[in-house]
Amino acid sequence: MSVDLRKSVSGAPPVVVQVWGDAALFTRPELKVERVSYPVMTPSAAVGVLEAIYWKPQFRWQVVAIEVLSEIKQFTQRRNETTDLASLADAASGRRRLDTVANRVQRNAVCLRDVAYRIHAHAVPGDRSDKPEAAYRDQFRRRVTRGSCFSQPYLGVREFSAYFGDPDDRPAYPVTEKLGLMLHSVDHSTTPPSFTWFHAEVAGGVMHVPEQGITATGAA
């Protein structure tokens, strides 16, 4: 495992966790009807896995790289979804029940099979943090070694569970491909939430993630 990665502001290298699963679906946003997965894990999905393992409001995760460890294999699946979607306010308050039976639709999805990744990320302390970065980093590593998590992590969609553990030394799978625009981050402090993007590319099995994304206007 030799990946050239930038260090954090404190000079520390990123933490590393290995994740794998039987299937994954990292949906491309430009395809509205059929679900088609990116060929690799997205940074937003990686943050979801990290937060399921360890998260506190005093820090945030910043993904810097994702290594692809297995051959990219696809399969097609028909999934039940609903067109009745609640707003964030309704979902948080529980004021409205979703009628999933009356609004059920079936959609094809192009998913990934037998996936494995190494996620490299920094724990970035916020203004309210009373601990140094090293404290969050060490706690995360202990939880990974123990197999502890706050909730079951998943690979893009909840029906595809993710397993995780300490990283091994297997080399990245030698794939090189331009992936187009990919979601970088979501800012929930704005109403509605704002999104940033980046031009993703995997080279030699490694996708490097920039520190900042670009707005949708800039992406266009």
Count of structural domains, the chain: 1
Residues 220 and 214: their CA atoms lie apart, in Å, by 10
* Local structure of 135: helix, strand or coil: helix
Could you tell me if residue 25 is inside a domain? yes
Quick check: 126 pLDDT over 70?
yes
Could you tell me if residue 4 is inside a domain? no
Could you tell me if residue 213 is inside a domain? no
Domain that holds residue 65: 15-82+104-171
Average confidence score pLDDT of the chain: 87
DSSP secondary structure code for residue 12 in this structure: P
142: left (phi over 0), alpha (psi -120 to 50) or beta: alpha
pTM value? Answer: 0.84
* 162: CATH: 3.30.70.2660
Could you tell me if residue 207 is inside a domain? no
Could you tell me if residue 208 is inside a domain? no
Residue type, position 104, single letter: R
Determine what percent of the chain is predicted with pLDDT higher than 90.
Answer: 64
The predicted-structure confidence for 83-96, as pLDDT tens digits, reads as follows: 555 565 555 566 66
Could you tell me if residue 212 is inside a domain? no
pLDDT on residue 165: 98
Could you tell me if residue 89 is inside a domain? no
Is residue 218 very low, low, confident or very high in pLDDT (cuts 50, 70, 90)? very low
The predicted-structure confidence for 35-86, as pLDDT tens digits, reads as follows: 899 999 999 999 999 999 999 999 999 999 999 999 999 999 876 666 555 5
pLDDT on residue 188: 75
Angle at which helix 133-146 crosses helix 43-53, to 10 degrees, equals 80
- The H or E element that residue 49 is part of is helix 43-53
Could you tell me if residue 166 is inside a domain? yes
The predicted-structure confidence for 155-181, as pLDDT tens digits, reads as follows: 999 999 999 999 999 999 999 999 999
